[in-house]
Amino acid sequence: MSSILTNTSAMSALQTLRTINNDMETTQGRISSGMRVGAASDNAAYWSIATTMRSDNAALSAVQDALGLGAAKVDTAYAGVEAAIDVVKEIKAKLVTATEQGVDKVKVQEEVKQLQEQLKSIGAGATFNGENWLAGGADDATVVTGFVRGSDGTVKVTTATYDAQAGSLFGAYDPATGTVDDASGILANVLAIELDGTEDDAAMATHLDTVETALSSMQTVGSTLGSLSKRITLQEDFASKLSDAIDKGVGRLVDADMNEESTRLKALQTQQQLAIQSLSIANSNSQNILSLFR
């Protein structure tokens, strides 16, 4: 039936054109944004997962920054321990020299005194951002190592702890004066060594034992710091790989396949042209009715 009031062909063609235009808008949005799921309305489940994982990745990025800061603190302390060990070895060598007959112990003491002052300088200088891990009087030092999300949705930041008390070469560090307390800590007895020229073999042996004990303790501190530095390096590498893995995982959920979308766009453009032609033909049917009244 032909009607001038209701053109069912045009209505059908118009509906098809609207559908094609909507599909084109969706495809063009994916091409311009590069995302298949850009809003919750596209896919609520994937959008929720992607949003959560992006948030976790941002936290992981902050952890990487914290790891870098922690590594700097550990490296500073380790450099201080290494330098201090070298100086204590020098003191040990001077003491061995002083045990020889005919050696002026007072003159050796002058050298030992300078080395002791150098130890204090190392202790005061091994400071990063106001923290001195070689000086006691502080709580345990902590380094951020990770960000973890549990299966129940809870999150926490993991840390590694360094026993600052056990690793103290010196007493408390005074940031106001930039000095350390030399009356306590692993090096306290080494810093108290003083040769006045009257020491006998037994006294010199005691001094050497003091230095040897300090060296053993310092090597333990160095090993602890080295192990912590290695852990931080491994964690930095893991955090970087984990961040990349999360990015890839999120991408698989929400990124658009540009090859597929470009192919779909070309197909939709062709369909749009055909739909426009179909609508034009349907609209011309009303004009054809006029020929019936000629």
Residues 182-222: tens digit of each pLDDT: 888 999 999 999 998 888 889 999 999 999 999 999 999 99
pLDDT at 158 over 90: no
Sketch the domain layout of the chain as residue ranges: 62-255
Mean pLDDT, range 17-29, rounded to an integer: 84
**Helices 44-98 and 201-254, interaxial angle, to 10°?**
170
Extract the tokens encoding 275.
């739909």
Mean pLDDT, range 282-294, rounded to an integer: 66
- Predicted pLDDT of residue 224: 92
E strands in 66-154: 141-149
* pLDDT tens profile 56-114: 888 888 888 888 999 999 999 999 999 999 999 999 999 999 988 888 989 999 999 99
What is the DSSP code string of 140-203? PEEEEEEEEE-TTS-EEEEEEEE-TTTT-SBS-EETTTTEE-TTSSTTHHHHT----S---HHH
- Predicted pLDDT of residue 2: 57
- Predicted pLDDT of residue 86: 96
Amino acid letter for position 41: S
- Please report the sign of the dihedral spanned by the C-alpha atoms of residue 235, residue 240, residue 244, residue 247: positive
pLDDT band of 3, cuts 50, 70, 90: low
Considering 30-39, 131-140, 205-214, 257-266, the range whose residues carry the highest mean pLDDT is: 205-214
pLDDT band of 21, cuts 50, 70, 90: confident
Cα of 77 vs its chain's centroid, Å: 20
Domain 62-255: top CATH class: mainly alpha
Residue given tokens 């005919």 in the structure block: 102
Comparing C-alpha atoms, which of 64, 215, 231 is closest to residue 162? Answer: 231
pLDDT band of 277, cuts 50, 70, 90: confident
pLDDT band of 166, cuts 50, 70, 90: confident
Mean pLDDT of the chain: 86
Q: How far is 172 from 175, CA to CA, in rounded Å?
A: 10
Whether the pTM exceeds 0.85: the reply is no
Mean pLDDT, range 43-67, rounded to an integer: 88
- Please report the sign of the dihedral spanned by the C-alpha atoms of residue 167, residue 169, residue 172, residue 175: negative
- Express as a percent the part of the chain with pLDDT over 90: 32
pLDDT at 228 over 60: yes
Mean pLDDT, range 41-48, rounded to an integer: 88
Q: How far is 136 from 186, CA to CA, in rounded Å?
A: 10
Extract the tokens encoding 262.
């470009």
Extract the tokens encoding 219.
């090597």
Beta strand pairing call for 179-180 and 173-174? antiparallel
